[in-house]
Structure 1
Amino acid sequence: MKRFENLQQFINTHFNEQPTSLNVVTGDASFRRYYRLNCKGEHFIVMDSDPNKVNNAPYISLNKVFTEQGFLLPKIIVSDELQGFFILSDLGSTHLADMLGDTNRTEHYKELINLSVKWAKTPASDVMQAYNEDFIKLELDIFSQWLVTGFINESLSVDQKIMWKTSSELLIKAMLAQPIVTVHRDYHSRNIMNNNGQWAIIDYQDAVRGPLCYDLVSLLRDCYFKLPDAELISLLGFAYKEFTDQDLIIDTSFNEFKYYFDLTGLQRHLKAAGIFCRLYLRDGKSGYLDNILPTLNYIIEVAANYSELTALSEWIKNIIVPKVMDKLAKERA
Structure 2
Amino acid sequence: MLNHSNHDIFDWNPSYCDAVWQEIIQLRTEASTRKFWRCRTVSETFVLMYSPPATEQNDRFIQFAEMFKRYEVPVPTIYEYDLDNGYFLLEDVGVEDFHTQYELRNVDHCVALAFSCLRNIQSINEPIIPPYERKRFVQELEVFRDNLCFSLIDVNTDVVQSYFEHIVEEISALPKVTVHRDYHCKNLLVRSEPPFLGVVDFQDALVGPITYDLASLLYDCYWDHEHATIEKQIEIFWSQGLAMQYREAITHQEFSVLLKLTALQRLLKAAGIFVRLWLERKQTTHLKYVLPTLRKAQDICEEIEAVRPLGLWLQREVIPVTLLAIRRQN
Q: TM-score range, shorter-chain basis?
A: over 0.9
**Contact 2:185–2:220 (8 Å) recurs in 1:** yes
Deviation at 1:12, TM superposition (A): 6.4
Deviation at 1:244, TM superposition (A): 4.0
Which residue is equivalent to 2:180? 184
Deviation at 1:302, TM superposition (A): 1.1
Which residue is equivalent to 1:143? 144
CA distance in 2, matches of 1:26, 1:43: 17
The C-alpha deviation readout for 1:230-253, integer Å capped at 9, x for no partner, is 121111100111244553443200
Which residue is equivalent to 1:34? 36
CA distance in 2, matches of 1:237, 1:211: 18
Going from structure 1 to structure 2, the CA distance change for 1:13 and 1:173 (only over 3 Å counts) comes to: same
1:196 alignment partner, one of 189, 192, 196: 192
**Contact 1:183–1:214 (8 Å) recurs in 2:** yes
1:269 alignment partner, one of 267, 270, 291: 267
Please give the TM-score of this superposition, normalised by the length of structure 2. 0.92
Runs of at least 5 residues in structure 2 that lack an aligned partner in the other structure: none
Deviation at 1:52, TM superposition (A): 1.1
CA distance in 1, matches of 2:92, 2:49: 11
* 2:206 counterpart of 1:208: yes
Which residue is equivalent to 2:162? 166
Which residue is equivalent to 1:62? 64
Deviation at 1:167, TM superposition (A): 0.9
2:149 alignment partner AA:
V
Which residue is equivalent to 2:78? 76
The C-alpha deviation readout for 1:273-316, integer Å capped at 9, x for no partner, is 00110111112211111111111111111112333312211111
2:124 alignment partner, one of 112, 122, 125: 122
Deviation at 1:9, TM superposition (A): 2.3
Pick which of 50-59 and 135-144 moved more: 50-59
**Contact 1:214–1:264 (8 Å) recurs in 2:** yes
CA distance in 2, matches of 1:21, 1:99: 24
Deviation at 1:5, TM superposition (A): 5.6
Say what the alpha-carbon RMSD is for the aligned residues.
2.0
**Contact 2:167–2:265 (8 Å) recurs in 1:** yes
The C-alpha deviation readout for 1:132-183, integer Å capped at 9, x for no partner, is 11111111100001111122233x2xxx51x332111111111112110000
SS of match in other structure, 1:129: coil
The C-alpha deviation readout for 1:52-96, integer Å capped at 9, x for no partner, is 121112211000000011121111111001110001111231111
Which residue is equivalent to 2:47? 45
Which residue is equivalent to 1:230? 228
**Contact 2:93–2:199 (8 Å) recurs in 1:** no
Going from structure 1 to structure 2, the CA distance change for 1:137 and 1:19 (only over 3 Å counts) comes to: closer
1:293 alignment partner AA:
L
2:321 alignment partner, one of 315, 319, 323: 323
CA distance in 2, matches of 1:97, 1:104: 10
Which residue is equivalent to 1:131? 132
Going from structure 1 to structure 2, the CA distance change for 1:6 and 1:244 (only over 3 Å counts) comes to: closer
Please give the TM-score of this superposition, normalised by the length of structure 1. 0.92
CA distance in 2, matches of 1:316, 1:261: 20
Identity over aligned residues, as a percent? 25
1:51 alignment partner AA:
P
CA distance in 2, matches of 1:52, 1:141: 24
Misfit runs of 4+, over 6 Å:
none
Pick which of 266-275 and 117-126 moved more: 117-126
Q: How many corresponding residue pairs?
A: 325
Going from structure 1 to structure 2, the CA distance change for 1:165 and 1:145 (only over 3 Å counts) comes to: same
**Contact 2:19–2:41 (8 Å) recurs in 1:** no
The C-alpha deviation readout for 1:103-158, integer Å capped at 9, x for no partner, is 542132123123212211111341x221111111111100001111122233x2xx
